[in-house]
């Protein structure tokens, strides 16, 4: 039943706030000895990452992915779900503050890089308890629009 799938999806998605949606600089099919796939996006949540993958057909095998940033953070696959040609893979933890790039690698293909995402600076990861209220009663930390800070590439 469709309602049950929605409840399952909500339990599957990491908790907290969706902080950023990363889109690849280009879309291209990645072919390994086991499967082929296209990475569509990475969702950066407060508590983890969701890699959104397109598979060539229903029943195609899921790719085995690893994630890498320039800090050397250890990302662990927590769960994976496939519906039709869409595969979602959930990793923890989320990207640490100051992360500039995130590389998706194929474990099925000797760790070959699939795509590297530029990670924009994220001003405030989540509203924190105890932050002074702004003039309209909302937290002052989230009232201002996000303004990116220019930085040199990694």
Average pLDDT, the chain: 80
- What is the separation of C-alpha 134 from the centre of its chain, rounded to a whole number of angstroms? 31
Token pair, residue 50, equals 């969701």
Q: What percent of the chain has pLDDT over 70?
A: 72
Distance (Å, whole) CA 75 – CA 92:
5
Query: Which spans in the chain are helix H?
Result: 2-12
- What are 12-15's contacts with CB under 8 Å, separation 24+? 12/79, 12/81, 12/88, 12/90, 13/45, 13/50, 13/90, 14/45, 14/46, 14/47, 14/48, 14/49, 14/50, 14/90, 14/92, 14/94, 15/45, 15/46, 15/47
Residue 11 has pLDDT above 90, yes or no: no
Local confidence band at 149 (pLDDT 50, 70, 90 cut-offs): low
Query: Going from the N-terminus, what domains does the chain have, and what CATH number goes with each?
Result: 17-118 (2.60.40)
Sign of CA dihedral 45, 75, 23, 125: positive
Per-residue pLDDT of 94-144, as tens digits, reads: 999 999 999 999 999 888 899 999 999 875 545 444 444 444 444 444 444
Range 62-83 average pLDDT:
94
Per-residue pLDDT of 56-72, as tens digits, reads: 999 999 999 999 999 99
Would you state the pLDDT for residue 136?
Answer: 47
Distance (Å, whole) CA 7 – CA 90:
16
């Amino acid at each position: 039943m469709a309602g049950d799938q929605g409840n399952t999806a909500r339990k599957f998605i990491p908790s907290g706030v969706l902080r950023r949606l990363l889109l690849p600089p280009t879309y291209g099919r990645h072919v390994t000895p086991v499967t082929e796939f296209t990475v569509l996006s990475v969702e950066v949540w407060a508590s983890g990452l969701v890699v959104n993958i397109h598979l060539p057909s229903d029943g195609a095998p899921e790719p085995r992915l690893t994630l890498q940033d320039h800090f050397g953070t250890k990302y662990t696959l927590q769960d994976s779900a496939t519906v039709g040609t869409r595969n979602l893979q959930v990793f923890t933890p989320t990207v640490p503050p100051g992360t500039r790039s995130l590389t998706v690698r194929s474990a099925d293909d000797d760790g070959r890089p699939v795509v590297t995402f530029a990670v924009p600076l994220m001003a405030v990861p989540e509203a924190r308890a105890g932050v002074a209220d702004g003039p309209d009663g909302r937290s002052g930390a989230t009232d201002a629009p996000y303004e990116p800070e220019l930085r040199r590439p990694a």
